[in-house]
Structure formats: structure tokens, C-alpha cells
Structure 1
Amino acid sequence: MKEMNTKTITRMAVLMALTTVMTMVIHIPTIGTNGYLNLGDMVVFLAALTLGKKGGFLVGGIGSGLADLLLGYSHYAPITFIVKGLEGYIAGKILETKLGQDKPIIATVVGGLWMAFGYYFAEIFMYGAKAALASVPGNIMQGLLGAVTAIVLFEALKRTKVAS
């Protein structure tokens, strides 16, 4: 992550708020696990792309966890903080490597797959293996959608010199 100056802290706060909003605006309840699908992953990955692994962790964990609290999914908030935080961290960590710099889609896809399986492992204890397994395909699709849209948006922002 870049040095913690006012500009970086402001970007992080805006991305946390945007993660919360993108998670809340379109949330589709899932059957069997009392969870929901959303578009917040796109912003988590955008944070990893622009702020690095620490920024990805904080934006993913705090922004997504806050959405859970505000939407009434408080039972998911601690899990979300860890799963979505690590989603951003993992993508950011891979982005530090030559592979991640050359092919950022790999970093975001791996982060999205982690998210799907992170929720799966937590939901095994909450709802049982069968119900948890039912949420995996939707979470994978959510993660992949977030991965692809974040890369497209980041490339567009780079061309306008908004993102470096």
C-alpha cells in the first residue's frame, strides 16, 4: 500500500463506502444459507488494484462487513470481515508479483475463488455441508463478475489518469 497520507486515507474511505453501497444496492438473497449475492467484490478488487494488499484487506473487510450490519445480516459480519478482507489481501499480494502485474485478472480471479470457498467453509459450521455447497456456484459467479469488472474499470481509470 502506498504511504498513508491524506489522499490515500481518503481513497480508502471512499472505496469502503462504495463497497458498502455496491453490496447493498443489489443484494440477491440465497436459499439455504441466509446470505446474499452482491456487486461489492468489484470495489474490493479495485481497492487491491489501487491501494495494494493492506488497502484491499481494509476496504474488503470493513466495507463489506458494514453492509452486512446495515442489511440485517449481522451473523455474517465477522465472517465477512475475514473472508472479504482476505479476498482483497490475496488479490493485492498476487498483484505485487510479476504474474499479477502482467495478468491482473489472475489476481482478482484467485481472490474471488478464495471468497467463494471462504464462505463455504464458514457456512459448513452454520448450516451444514449441503446448504453450504449450494452457495458455492453463486459465490463463484459473484467473485468472477467482480474480478472481470474491476479489471475493466481499473484499465479505464488508468487511461483517464484517475488511477495509477
Structure 2
Amino acid sequence: MKDNNIKLMVRYAILMALTTVMTMVIHIPTIGTNGYLNLGDMVVFLAALMLGRKGGLIVGGLGSALADVLLGYTHYAPITLAVKGLEGFIAGTILETKLGKKSPISATIIGGVWMTLGYYLAEIFMYGAKASLASVPGNLMQGLLGAVISVALYRALKRTKAFN
């Protein structure tokens, strides 16, 4: 195996673990949907910024779903695998366009909006429309916070020699 492949695999593994940890360290239960708010989106977006859409998909889906399983939210793990994976994929895809290169915050915000919509749609089938609507403001704030922090952190990391 080439050194580049090993380095890439290590980056994936570290970012997946970091996503799991950031999701688990601060998790605030939400009323009405038996879900929780967390800081994992920040790392999902950081993965998309660093590794592109494939990295965002894999890190977002697997790292976030693992946190669900470890925290006892196993009923959310399949939904999270899809929603958070697509969140990273969407952000990573937009980051590869002119808009994303010019304004990475736009790409991450769109990813955060998708995450909010994805959970809302899934929770309609789980809890009904009214209960799922209750989670929208928290999920939106979680996605926006993750979007802003990830872009700021990415820019700071790009300035260091250790990042490359």
C-alpha cells in the first residue's frame, strides 16, 4: 500500500472518530422527537472541506451513525447514516463548484439545511408532522453553527504547516 493511501485512510479514521466524539461529548436531548443536538456537523463539514464529497459522505455517515449507536439512539442510526452522509456529500459537491470555492460557507450552510430537512422528513414518519416540526429550529441552529465553525477552523488549519 502506498504512503498516500495510508495517510488518506488515517485521515478518514481520525475524522470519523472525531465526528463520533464531538457528537457524543455535547448532546442535548430534544423534546418531541427523542433525538439530540450535537457538535458533530462541524467535523462532517471539515471532512468535506478537507477530503471532498467522498470524505464528507463516509465521515458524515459512519462517524455520526456510530455515535447514535454508542449513545443508545439506535433507532436513529440508519437515518443518521443517510442524512449525515448526504450532508457531507452535498457540502463536498458544492465545494467543488465555483460557488463553493468562492464561498465555502454557502456550501456548508446548504449541507446544514439539508440535514435539517432530512431529519424533518424522517421524523414525520416516526412521530408525526407536529412533533417533527419541533426539531427543525434546533437542527437548523446545529447545522449553521457547524457550518460557521468548520469553515473558520479549516481556514485556520490551512495556515499551519502541520495541516499539509
* CA drift at 1:163: 3.6
Task: Give the structure 1 partner of residue 60 of structure 2.
Answer: 60
How many residues align? The count is 161
Aligned AA (2:74): S
Task: Give the structure 2 partner of residue 11 of structure 1.
Answer: 11
What is the alpha-carbon distance in structure 1 between the residues aligned to residue 124 and residue 163 of structure 2? 39
Aligned AA (1:128): G
Once the two structures are superposed, what CA deviation does each residue of 1:65-108 show, in whole Å capped at 9, x if it has no partner? 00000000000000000000000000000000011001000000
SS in 2 for 1:5: helix
* CA drift at 1:152: 0.5
Task: Give the structure 2 partner of residue 41 of structure 1.
Answer: 41
TM-score, normalised to structure 1, is 0.96
What is the alpha-carbon distance in structure 1 between the residues aligned to residue 16 and residue 143 of structure 2? 17
Task: Give the structure 2 partner of residue 99 of structure 1.
Answer: 99
* CA drift at 1:136: 0.3
What is the alpha-carbon distance in structure 2 between the residues aligned to residue 62 and residue 84 of structure 1? 8
What is the alpha-carbon distance in structure 2 between the residues aligned to residue 161 and residue 89 of structure 1? 27
What is the alpha-carbon distance in structure 2 between the residues aligned to residue 6 and residue 107 of structure 1? 28
Task: Give the structure 1 partner of residue 134 of structure 2.
Answer: 134
TM-score, normalised to structure 2, is 0.96
Task: Give the structure 1 partner of residue 147 of structure 2.
Answer: 147
Unaligned runs of 5+ in 2: none
Segments ≥4 residues shifted beyond 4 Å: none
* CA drift at 1:148: 0.1
CA RMSD of aligned residues (A): 0.9
SS in 1 for 2:74: coil
Task: Give the structure 1 partner of residue 156 of structure 2.
Answer: 156
What is the alpha-carbon distance in structure 1 between the residues aligned to residue 49 and residue 9 of structure 2? 15
Unaligned runs of 5+ in 1: none
What is the alpha-carbon distance in structure 2 between the residues aligned to residue 49 and residue 162 of structure 1? 16
Contact 1:154/1:163 (<8 A) preserved? no
What is the alpha-carbon distance in structure 2 between the residues aligned to residue 97 and residue 163 of structure 1? 23
* CA drift at 1:162: 3.7
* CA drift at 1:124: 0.1
What is the alpha-carbon distance in structure 2 between the residues aligned to residue 106 and residue 5 of structure 1? 30
